[in-house]
Chain A
Amino acid sequence: AQRVTQPEKLLSVFKGAPVELKCNYSYSGSPELFWYVQYSRQRLQLLLRHISRESIKGFTADLNKGETSFHLKKPFAQEEDSAMYYCALRGYSGAGSYQLTFGKGTKLSVIP
């Protein structure tokens, strides 16, 4: 079974402070990890995926297989980063499958 844990329901930081949104996963194979973001009154959208190894809007996330973690980080938080963030794992349950398991989400609030 695959599971994604986001231990923090709410994270508040001051503008300019570093941000780290935690994500731990449980999966027996080689997972594909994603971060999705939902800004107020907008639809859920992909922020980044681990295989791309890119920085989006200043955010990065490194897959740590030893710690089974995929924490999302940004060195300096901006007010526009306030949103709901979901970590997701894609396991492979069969040919052509695409099942994403989502964490419960962390609401990031950036205080001006």
Chain B
Amino acid sequence: SAVISQKPSRDICQRGTSLTIQCQVDSQVTMMFWYRQQPGQSLTLIATANQGSEATYESGFVIDKFPISRPNLTFSTLTVSNMSPEDSSIYLCSVVGLSGANVLTFGAGSRLTVL
């Protein structure tokens, strides 16, 4: 399965700032996604990162707050904009590879704490 590298692995941020999380995959993948896992909660899909076009956002998530880029088949970024303490979460990059197994593989996650 694909190997996913996410960075930063963790960060502490000030209210009102923005942070960009990077996701790099070691092979071309068909689909890339961004999930959020708030403390004590389950994983929630933020959006599907589309290569060369705007991401597809799930209900409750908007591009102004979570701009996403995917310039090619192996790389994507998620920005958490104008952060507040409620944005403190683990953000996970995940992919469906080209192996044919059609299985979702996750990165290690980026743990953000907003003060």
Please tell me the size bucket of the interface on A.
10 to 19
User: What's the Cα separation between A102 and B46 when bound, in Å?
Assistant: 13
Q: Which residues from 18 to 60 on chain A have a C-beta closer than 8 Å to any C-beta of chain B?
A: 34, 36, 43-46, 49
For B107, give its contact among A43, A98, A103, A105 (CB under 8 Å).
Answer: A43
**Complex: how many Å from CA A49 to CA B101?**
11
Residues of A within 8 A of B92 (CB): 44
Q: Would you give the 0/1 interface string for A70-112, flagging 1 where the beta carbon is closer than 8 Å to chain B?
A: 0000000000000000100000000011111111110000000
| Cross-chain pair count, CB within 8 angstroms | 39
CB-CB nearest in chain B for A6: B42
Q: Are B31 and A43 in contact (CB under 8 A)?
A: no
A43 with B41, Cβ < 8 A, contacts A98-B31, A98-B96 known: no
In the complex, the answer to whether B45 meets A99 with C-beta atoms within 8 Å is yes
Cβ–Cβ contact B45 & A43, under 8 A: no
Q: Does B103 contact A (CB under 8 A)?
A: yes
Q: B22 interface residue, CB < 8 Å from A? A: no
The answer to whether A104 and B41 have CB atoms under 8 Å apart is: yes
Which A residues touch B48, using CB under 8 A? 97-98
In the complex, the answer to whether A44 meets B106 with C-beta atoms within 8 Å is yes
B42 touches A43 (CB 8 A): no
Q: Which residues of B contact A (CB under 8 A)?
A: 31, 33, 41-45, 48, 58, 92, 96, 102-109
